[in-house]
Amino acid sequence: MEQVYEQLWSAGREMQNRGSGGDGLRRQLKRLWLNHGLRYLLLCCLALLVWLSSNSLSWWDGFPLKDHNQWFVNTVQRPPSYRDRSNNTFEPIKTTEGSTVPPNVPRPVSTTLPPKGLQFHQAYPRNYHFIMDNKEVCKTKTPLLVLLVPVAPKNVAARDAIRQTWGSSSEVRGDVVLTLFMLGLYRAADVDVVQEKLQQENLLHHDLIQSDFLDTYLNLTIKTMVIMDWLVTRCPEAAYAMKVDSDIFLNIDNLVMMLQKPDIPKLNYLTGMLMWHRPVIRSKSSKWYVPVEMYPEPFYPTYTLGMGYVFSNDLPKKIVEASKSVNHFTIEDAYVGACMKKLGLSPRPPPNPSQFRAYNQKYDRCQYSKIITYILGSPKQLVDYWTDLKRPEPPC
């Protein structure tokens, strides 16, 4: 306030020196009072809203303009680890009562109930709802293994390549194996066209599952946790499941052979390519950057590389429950490792760790006949390598 008085005094002296009279002085004083008055009024309003959001949420819930102004309360109320980044890529599309999904997306049927009371953070899967589903696929035959593939809505080429190769058989070595694709919402100018094509694709293949989160790279943790929830609510009868990326060469025969071994655990089992003592990337220029607010520890707990990991089907329910108290961060495979740590569990090495491979410089038929996973460069590579591997001649 002292600065305001000083400016008013200076204005008066200036007017007196200029000889501009009382009218000029009154105009100048009015402008100064208006400018500073508006500033203090805005500060008072801001302080009031902050107080209401933190101390009077029950009053706020009954306020007529609550929905219109909820963005402000969310920004103030949520800790930094839950705030939106990169054009709201973390923000779920709300489906709670009184709000709607975008008009170009069919309104979801509530197949999983949202939590009442406390709303958990973005990784908690029951904050989302399935808008396209194939919930009966596990009812006719009990599968040994369910393969769930996170894939972008527009990546039809990857889905078709998998349908032609390791996802083509519903029975492998005498056991039932299901392959399904998990998608989020596509948001762009041609969203209506894409959504219609997805509906037609699902009518043809009956293998798409879509939930109402935005399908972005930074939402892969959400996507993975929705996969876990689908297994809990749609396919608890399966013995094992695998989250497997869409760019993977999966030797499904070797995988089923591994799971058929009598010494493979039936409970609390998670295996794949194990990552030990991996540092958290703090460089903002990195694709794998995670801020301290999201994950404060300098190293991740032991986890399985996200290209493809296998788990006994009792784990999804436990991981979903653990996710209520494990803060969301964007490295999905490490997040599953953090949930395992919360449960007091650890991933285990596979019977033959050399079978879970990441990259290979060139195709070798003999080598591909022995492994379980390899990361590929394109859907065409998958089809070409698979076709060659399945030739009748011995691979080695």
Banded pLDDT at 56 (limits 50, 70, 90): very low
Q: How many CB atoms lie within 10 A of CB 22?
A: 8
Q: How many CB atoms lie within 10 A of CB 180?
A: 22
Residues 37 and 149 in one domain: no
β-pair partners for 162: none
CA distances from 38 to 32, 69, 261 (A): 10, 21, 74
139 exposure class (CB count in 10 Å sphere: 0-12, 13-18, 19+):
exposed
User: What backbone phi and psi angles, to 5 degrees, belong to 134?
Assistant: -135, 65
Residues 238 and 361 in one domain: yes
Residues 290 and 152 in one domain: yes
| Angle CA 184–189–191, to nearest 5 | 35
Q: Which of 7-21, 39-53, 284-298, 372-386 has the lowest mean pLDDT?
A: 7-21
pLDDT at 50: 52
pLDDT at 27: 56
Banded pLDDT at 387 (limits 50, 70, 90): very high
Q: Which domain holds residue 295?
A: 125-389
Residues 207 and 291 in one domain: yes
Full 3-state SS string of the chain: CHHHHHHHHHHHHHHHHHCCHHHHHHHHHHHHHHHHHHHHHHHHHHHHHHHHHHHCHHHHHCCCCHHHHHHHHHHHHCCHHHCCCCCCCCCCCCCCCCCCCCCCCCCCCCCCCCCCCCCCCCCCHHHCCEEECCCCCCCCCCCCEEEEEECCCCCHHHHHHHHHCCCCCCEECCEEEEEEEEEEECCCCCHHHHHHHHHHHHHHHCCEEEEEEECCHHHHHHHHHHHHHHHHHHCCCCCEEEEECCCEEECHHHHHHHHCCCCCCCCCCEECCEECCCECCCCCCCCCCCCCCCCCCCECCCEECCCEEEEECCHHHHHHHHHHHCCCCCCHHHHHHHHHHHCCCCCECCCCHHHECCCCCCCCHHHHCCCCEEECCCHHHHHHHHHHHCCCCCCC
pLDDT at 122: 81
Structural domain includes residue 87: no
Residues 42 and 132 in one domain: no
57 pLDDT higher than 80:
no
pLDDT at 144: 98
Residues 178 and 271 in one domain: yes
Among the listed residues 161, 213, 157, the one whose alpha carbon sits nearest the alpha carbon of residue 182:
213
pLDDT at 97: 29
Structural domain includes residue 105: no
d(CA 285, CA 322): 30
d(CA 193, CA 120): 33
> What pLDDT, in 10s, does the model give residues 62-95?
444 333 333 333 333 333 333 233 333 333 333 3
Residues 360 and 273 in one domain: yes
315 pLDDT higher than 70:
yes
pLDDT at 384: 98
Q: How many domains does one find in the chain?
A: 2
273 or 97, greater pLDDT:
273
Structural domain includes residue 247: yes
Structural domain includes residue 94: no
> What pLDDT, in 10s, does the model give residues 147-196?
999 999 999 999 999 999 999 999 999 999 999 999 999 988 888 999 99
Structural domain includes residue 99: no
User: What backbone phi and psi angles, to 5 degrees, belong to 239?
Assistant: -80, -40
Two tokens at 260? 């058929």
Q: Tell how strand 171-172 and strand 175-185 pair up.
A: antiparallel
Two tokens at 224? 């993975």
296 pLDDT higher than 70:
yes
Structural domain includes residue 183: yes
Specify which of 15-19, 71-75, 90-94, 376-380 reaches the highest per-range mean pLDDT. 376-380
Q: Are 352 and 372 in contact (CB under 8 A)?
A: no
Among the listed residues 204, 145, 140, the one whose alpha carbon sits nearest the alpha carbon of residue 179:
145
Share of the chain above pLDDT 90, in %: 65
User: What backbone phi and psi angles, to 5 degrees, belong to 390?
Assistant: -85, 5
Residues 199 and 290 in one domain: yes
159 or 113, greater pLDDT:
159
Residues 335 and 249 in one domain: yes
pLDDT at 361: 80
pLDDT at 45: 64
Q: What is the pTM of this model?
A: 0.72
Share of the chain above pLDDT 70, in %: 70
Residues 37 and 141 in one domain: no
Residues 138 and 243 in one domain: yes
**Residue carrying structure tokens 């009868």:** 237
Q: Tell how strand 308-312 and strand 270-271 pair up.
A: antiparallel
d(CA 252, CA 373): 9
Banded pLDDT at 49 (limits 50, 70, 90): low
* CATH code for the domain of 366: 3.90.550.10
Structural domain includes residue 6: yes
Structural domain includes residue 61: no
Residues 330 and 232 in one domain: yes
pLDDT at 2: 46
